[in-house]
Structures are given as C-alpha cells and as structure tokens.
Chain A
C-alpha cells in the first residue's frame, strides 16, 4: 500500500506516492532521478547519503520517504548556483584535490554546508571531528580537511577596510 507525500527538494515541490519501506535515499535517486545522493552502506555509517532536511544534515538512508512529507530537502544538486558554476565549497574541494572517486563527496559537501554556517572559522580538529561521520577510502582525508579550510576562508565575509 502506498502513501501520498508532498516534498520540496531543492526548492521544487513533488507529489508522489511511496511504499512505506522505501528509504528517502532510494526515493531521491529512483523516483526523482536525483542520483547525486549516493548509497554506500544503507545502515547509516558511511555518510554518503547525507542530505539537508530543513537545513540540517541527516542520513537519507535512515529516513523513510514517507517521513519526508511536508518537509524541505536540499541535495547536492541544489548546492551549485542555478546559473551554473560551482558553490565555493565545491570550488574549494576541486582546487584542493579534496575528492578522488567522488563517491563520499556529496555527503561531505552537504555536511560542510551546514557545518560552516554553524562554525564559520573551524579549527582543523573541529573539521576532523565533523568529518568523522563520513567514510572516505580514497583520500585519507588530508586534502578534504584542507578543502574545508579553504571553503571557510572563501565563505568568510571580507575584512572591513581600515582607512
């Protein structure tokens, strides 16, 4: 038996009917063709499926699609500016070689979007602590940490001009 949901994803509203056991991750990928959200483990550990629910990072593999009714979701597809180009966080990951195969990257970028809002000038230790919720097998995290530092600098407001 399916249940109707109305969910806003990246600013666009979708009305669909979903089976209760379908996860939000599978709904985004299979029903909405938003395949930027990746499924790595399906038990909440790897973090590749992380999206923003009401602006906060959550594991989309641990939410049921039916629970997304009346919610607002942002996926990696919603991070790049609408007129093309890359978000400063994406730009920093590219510039600092903060990704290799890219499988873990969308989940990390979503967490970083929220993290830098809450902590605009993080220490490297704080960055590593936030990253601990995301598994990466390619990079050893070193350049990811540098990318997030660079993103923080890119997003920081410019210092006031002294006369």
Chain B
C-alpha cells in the first residue's frame, strides 16, 4: 500500500524542528524512517505532518567521554557498528542483530531507541547500561533515564512536542564482562525473546555489579532485578547463576502471539539469562 497523504517539513534548526512538532496536529519525526515508513505504507500510522530531521546540524556525533557514550540523533546504526568494531564487542554484537545492513545504513540508533518496539535490542541495551535519552522540547532540554523512558509498546515518556537529540549509554567499566543472546525465527528478525547482561567482579572474585535486561519478554524492556539481586556480592557458581536466571524470568509477564507463547518466552528468558550471565562472567577482565 502507499502512505496516506501528509505534509512534510525539513527544518534546518533544532528550534524549527521542535516548533514544527509543537505546531498542533499529529506530527511525527522522520530520521532513518526504517520503522516509520513501513507503518506509513501499511497505514498503521497516519500522521498529518512528517518532520524530517536529517538536515539538522550537529546530531551525527559519536562521543565517548568520562565513561559515557553519547550518540546523536542522526547517527546511523551502521556508523555505530563500524565505530564499535574496534572499540566495543558488546555494541558490535548487539548491532549485528538489528535487522540487516541496508536497514542499518539508514536507521538511526536514537530512532530505534525511541521507537520502543518491545522486541528491539537497543532499548534493552540502554536499560541494561542505565542510559539516558536527551530530549529537547519547547520548554528546553531534559534527560530521561532509561528506567523511566519506556512506558508501553511503542510508547515512551517523550512528549509529542519533544525531539530526542541524543542517547547516552554508560559504558561498562574496565574489566566488566558482557553477554548478549536472542532467539529469533530467522536471522535479522525481531527477537522472540532476548537478554543482555553486564557484570563486574570484585577483587575477591565475588560479583560486584550485575545488570541484566530482557527484551521481547514484556511490553517494554525490563531489568531482571530479582536475578541481579540474587547474584550481587555472591561468588558466581553455575548453580547460583541458574537460580538467578530463573528468578529473573519468573518475574516476567510476557505476552503470547503467533510466533511464541507466553510460557515459551518466560522459559527461554531464563535460558538466555543463564547463557548471557555465564558469557559475561567468562569475559570479565577482557576488553569491553
């Protein structure tokens, strides 16, 4: 199908963009378009105005400073993937699971984070790494922490007149280990369920910090806090990791759909939590 008619604006300043979003009517931001344009084509979305932000200056930076990674709204997923190839195996692995290269050449990191598909990888990574969304609106700029950002499927704390100008990830500290796994029916598809884990070990070998996040297991990405708490300060045995994984998954209330039952998602969430925590443990001390 073809999209329903809409007005189109391509502002050249941030103020113009915010003004266009705030101008009344149902306006949507167009960055990479890899999530929005299919919705327009299937007429699942019928905005009255598209605000194309691709001409805004200063939004295509990837900046690493003081343990934070800031990614501007126009950074393509593929650009971050290339950046990560020599700097962050975690980001590289996660990004390689996002669709396919032609989609990543155009789709933006921030766009994916803000689109908030429950089965997407990057929102879960943002949550796991305790990141922040930088939002600009008519009343100025604000930071929205990841754990307050996701409200429901495709629904975030961003106001209709706000533009996400960047996301910031807290990079895992030196010596942290990471694990990432998802189950999808085909390579590149949305996940049925997935998990990402980052752990650090203390000098005595016990687990210092444990962060675990699930995607595809609820209407938003969720932290596996029951599992995190079960492992923090503990010596990591295989049995403890298994129990923690099951505890984290038991707290989930996934939905069933045509691709997987709720029981499947909960069960496999536990399996993937166990696998990612184990992998993270194995990577402790290696490059982040």
Verify if A111 is at the interface (C-beta below 8 Å from B). Answer: yes
* A21 in contact with B102 (CB, 8 Å): no
DSSP class of B's interface residues: helix, strand, loop or mixed? Answer: loop
* A62 in contact with B38 (CB, 8 Å): yes
Verify if B259 is at the interface (C-beta below 8 Å from A). Answer: no
Given A43-B41, A44-B37, A59:B4 Cβ within 8 A = no
- Cβ-Cβ contact count across A and B, 8 Å cutoff: 84
Closest CB of chain B to A120's CB: distance in Å? 16
Enumerate chain A residues within 8 angstroms of B54, measured Cβ to Cβ: 67
Scoring B4, B101, B186 by chain A CB atoms within 10 A of each residue's CB, the highest score goes to: B101
Verify if B142 is at the interface (C-beta below 8 Å from A). Answer: no
Complex Cα spacing A115 to B102, Å: 11
* A66 in contact with B187 (CB, 8 Å): no
Enumerate chain B residues within 8 angstroms of A43, measured Cβ to Cβ: 38, 41-42
Enumerate chain B residues within 8 angstroms of A67, measured Cβ to Cβ: 30, 33, 52, 54
* B103 in contact with A44 (CB, 8 Å): yes
DSSP class of A's interface residues: helix, strand, loop or mixed? Answer: mixed
Query: B1-13, CB under 8 A of A: which get 1 and which 0?
Result: 1111111101000
Complex Cα spacing A66 to B51, Å: 12
Residues of chain A whose beta carbon lies under 8 Å from any beta carbon of chain B? 1, 3, 19-21, 23, 26, 42-44, 47, 50, 53, 56-59, 61-64, 66-67, 111, 115, 129-130, 132-133
Known: A53-B106, A59-B34. 8 other contacts (CB 8 A): A21-B4, A23-B41, A43-B38, A57-B101, A59-B102, A66-B8, A111-B101, A132-B100
Residues of chain B whose beta carbon lies under 8 Å from any beta carbon of chain A? 1-8, 10, 30, 33-34, 37-38, 40-42, 50, 52, 54, 78, 99-103, 105-106, 186-188
